[in-house]
Structure 1
């Protein structure tokens, strides 16, 4: 555009000049060797310009002929160079697509057309061909030669870094990355690898300095750089917490300036202030972050900041946090736990149920189980809340790359990446359906909650009650007879008579009834209303005995299979086994009824 404008200005100037001469006519006279030449001034001017052009053309022709050999040489050299560059370009494209044959062919052609010491791209093409062919030794040799050349040093270091990572030589890869980062901190791959390495090694000062260099080189944006620097400052503060609490507090506060909602930095700063004995500043830092986003670890540290506080004092501090962030499940759960420690069960239960309504998670139901354990001791209600906790969603924790940690870490132990730990529900949790994830779950749990001490019955009574519902009329009478006899024995003083004799008295037959009349009947005295039922049971016993007499073989089988009568008939091995027929009959009837 400028050239066109310049050409137009020149043409305009010539036009104006000729116009000016045309308006002022005149003649030009020249006398040379007795000859007089006269011509108009305009014609003379045109002839002068033509002469100048002719001289310039003749000079160009002479110079072109004179320099023609060099010109021809330069032409062919440029043409050869262009063909070489075309071969390199085609070869790199072929190497990128995995075409080994074409890439190797183009590499050979590039070597024939260009000199490797003058064109570094030939080394790049050769290295790519070697990698595709699987000749990693040749590729490493080429990368090493490239790393010694200032023009290709960065490319060579990256190639060596990738080869070391491929072989699993992490230490060598770290050295290559650090060498590249020291020379060129603007290289993102080198800076990132070096930053992770220094972080894993605990070299916080070097890592922060490299991060500042990256920010100055505008490799990372301002927000990401601030996040990473806050993480590194918090990690450095944690390393100084025990030895230099003052410096740890300064680093943690600087991290909070970069990220005002960073809970790990607030926790480290609070611990550093507590180590210096400054409870007020510690509480101020925790309260500042608590207002932005409540965190359970911040709340626990806040209420236990002073070691001499009672449970009531801790409850007051928890209520203060709740006032800063009301209607929050973390605040409510903190107050509920503090109330449980202070033995204020009604408040603890109220806050725990409110937490379960807002966020039906595992910790809320476990706290309700703890309240039942301490307040009522009802194991049925405790197990009920424990079952609800098993079905509830897990509580948030620190998670990074599939790993769950109780505490925050600046980098992932699995991959070494920085700032990957997040406070959230662990991976693999099944999401609760919407209709069960709201307060309806707590309502259902409260409806199914058993009463305190409810439905507690002795197992024996429950079994006997179940049996009585299924037994016929005669079996009910016999069972009642046995139970009344047991009660009468419980009221009798210990007489020291054998168990078999007492069994004989309880299961007496009509044949031994006259002898039993001399024995006081406590059961009939205590419950006279059942005399008629007792008579009916006594009437049924002869029929039972008749059935036993009619089936002697069945009784013998029962006697062999009975675990009490076999193999020693319920006696010790030293007993000779001599007993009366009445004792044997009474023992058999006893086991028949039971």
Structure 2
């Protein structure tokens, strides 16, 4: 618009000048020696304008001729750069699509056409990375360090390569240098924070966290949470040497993150150690309402050292009233009742959990109750066997790692505040159990084979009982034998030849087993006189190969509960019964016919039943 206005103003001045010349005619006379030239003023002005225009055009032509080589060079360079950037674009597309051959080709074209451009170096490094050429990638990143505008980018590339090789010293040096060059770089600040946390330099990590929060690299809520985690970790390290400083740090952590269970537990224990039981109870109760956790329960119940078991039970009942429907409340009550030897109260607390699918801790606790009340019985072994394949209890989870204790950083990635409280997934456990990655396979627990224990034990048929015959049997003059045969087991050796077997082993409960149907000839001959004779005991079957251990290792508290109980026992009757029926003891049958929490004693009546021989 401005150019149009300027042009219109120029035309107006030209028109005014032409009109003025027309109103004031005159002559222009040029005299040189004997020559005299005269012309009208308008013609002289027109000639002057034409000469000036011609001179300008001539000068432009001469200038263009002299600048033509430079113009040709500039045009060639522009075309070369255009081709180079086109190669960079195609190379980036190849890198994104995962084509290493095309990426290397376009990276070479871009380097040849553009030289040491930042984008060329980046494409070269990325092409080397997807091709697996780590040396070429590091060389490209080192080239970036020579240019100020690509120095931070080169440091990040070297940092990634160093971590990939496991050179944490070099990785930390690159991240620290990047923070010095560009304090607002997020990846470098996060890496420095992770390294400081891995070295347990909690105070240095707090300073790094404050810098990240000041630069708004993380939001305020996340900054408060991470600060609480770092304060808790610092307090855990100083709890024994500097209890007062540790208590101050952990109380600040509780204020910043009231739902952080380790902070509340540590604060409660430190306050209880200092004799401030009311403050400790207040912190633990507030944390229990937010998340019932076994660590909170242990700290609350054991708050006052020297209390009797009944005092601990009363304290457990007080805490359980804050979350009466929580599973942890029932487990806490059952454990406290067991310590107080109130077995009925312990069973009552666990009854709702047993009605559903009991977890590992529930099964182990039931085994402890059975052992404390009745001693070593089949029920104890039944509960321990059930615990080996029970669902996992909630645990601390981080990057595929399942841990019984909380840690401020992940042992796999070094990420801060990585552990969360949750139930391990069987699918995730199996995936991590099968992986070959070194930093995961050693830490992940899996459920493994869920084959029931009953499949590993020989099946024992119930005793055969005589039934009333439907019709009289015909005299055939033959001996009819009825016997109970165990179902074939995979690990058992085949029987030698048919013989009269021993009486079937008794079930571990007083309840009679379901009768097995008799054969047709036996039914027909039931009315004939029969004579019962004890059958000789068969030879002991070959021992089975031991079962492979479960894929999920049993936690330490399960091993402690099972320690001293010995291997799986073989129930046997009294001395008198054993003298009447000498034979090897029978293994425990799973599933048992009575409720698993009360299998009952093995009666002498169920020790065995003789095989009947019916003679017609």
Q: Does 1:448 align with 2:451?
A: no
Residues 244-393 of structure 1 aligned to structure 2 (within 5 Å)? 244-357=242-355, 360-377=358-375, 379-393=377-391
Report deviation, 1:378.
7.0
Report deviation, 1:371.
2.4
| Distance change >3 Å, CA 422–CA 136, structure 1 → 2 | closer
Structure 1 residue matching 2:321: 3-state secondary structure: helix
For residues 337 and 592 of structure 2, the distance between their equivalents in structure 1, rounded to whole angstroms, comes to 21
| Distance change >3 Å, CA 229–CA 375, structure 1 → 2 | same
Report deviation, 1:200.
1.1
Report deviation, 1:64.
8.3
**Which of 43, 64, 74 is the aligned partner of 1:77?**
74
Partner of 2:227: 229
How many residues are paired up?
434
For residues 356 and 54 of structure 2, the distance between their equivalents in structure 1, rounded to whole angstroms, comes to 96
**Which of 176, 179, 191 is the aligned partner of 1:178?**
176
Report deviation, 1:295.
0.4
**Higher helix content, 1 or 2:** 1
Contact residue 381 and residue 449 of structure 1 kept, 8 A: no
For residues 359 and 279 of structure 1, the distance between their equivalents in structure 2, rounded to whole angstroms, comes to 37
Report deviation, 1:201.
0.9
Contact residue 400 and residue 422 of structure 1 kept, 8 A: yes
5+ residue gaps, structure 2: 30-44, 430-445, 451-589
Report deviation, 1:256.
3.2
Contact residue 378 and residue 453 of structure 1 kept, 8 A: no
1:322-355 deviations in Å (ceiling 9; x for gaps)? 1211221111221221122223332222112133
Residues 20-39 of structure 1 aligned to structure 2 (within 5 Å)? 30=24
TM-score, length basis structure 1: 0.61
Partner of 1:156: 154
Partner of 2:568: none
For residues 66 and 82 of structure 2, the distance between their equivalents in structure 1, rounded to whole angstroms, comes to 24
Moved more, 148-157 or 187-196: 187-196
1:282-326 deviations in Å (ceiling 9; x for gaps)? 222111111111101101101101102221221121111112112
Report deviation, 1:138.
5.2
Contact residue 175 and residue 191 of structure 2 kept, 8 A: yes
Partner of 1:86: 83
| Distance change >3 Å, CA 61–CA 303, structure 1 → 2 | farther
Contact residue 399 and residue 405 of structure 1 kept, 8 A: yes
1:561-590 deviations in Å (ceiling 9; x for gaps)? xxxxxxxxxxxxxxxxxxxxxxxxxxxxxx
* Larger CA Rg, structure 1 vs 2: 1
Moved more, 82-91 or 233-242: 82-91
Greater RCO, CA 8 A, separation 6+: 2
Contact residue 311 and residue 338 of structure 1 kept, 8 A: yes
Report deviation, 1:411.
1.8
Report deviation, 1:60.
9.2
| Distance change >3 Å, CA 92–CA 284, structure 1 → 2 | same
**Which of 83, 98, 101 is the aligned partner of 2:100?**
98
Structure 2 residue matching 1:399: 3-state secondary structure: strand
For residues 143 and 86 of structure 2, the distance between their equivalents in structure 1, rounded to whole angstroms, comes to 21
TM-score, length basis structure 2: 0.59
For residues 320 and 89 of structure 1, the distance between their equivalents in structure 2, rounded to whole angstroms, comes to 74
Contact residue 383 and residue 596 of structure 2 kept, 8 A: no
Structure 1 residue matching 2:421: 3-state secondary structure: strand
Contact residue 366 and residue 597 of structure 2 kept, 8 A: no
Contact residue 283 and residue 302 of structure 1 kept, 8 A: yes
Report deviation, 1:61.
8.6
For residues 194 and 153 of structure 2, the distance between their equivalents in structure 1, rounded to whole angstroms, comes to 21
Contact residue 164 and residue 172 of structure 1 kept, 8 A: yes
| Distance change >3 Å, CA 454–CA 328, structure 1 → 2 | closer
| Distance change >3 Å, CA 82–CA 217, structure 1 → 2 | farther
Report deviation, 1:153.
0.7
Contact residue 373 and residue 382 of structure 1 kept, 8 A: yes
Partner of 1:466: 609
Contact residue 130 and residue 136 of structure 1 kept, 8 A: yes
Residues 357-506 of structure 1 aligned to structure 2 (within 5 Å)? 357=355, 360-377=358-375, 379-426=377-424, 427=429, 428-429=446-447, 448-449=594-595, 454=600, 456-458=602-604, 466-467=609-610, 470=612
Contact residue 363 and residue 383 of structure 2 kept, 8 A: yes
Contact residue 92 and residue 125 of structure 1 kept, 8 A: no
Report deviation, 1:431.
12
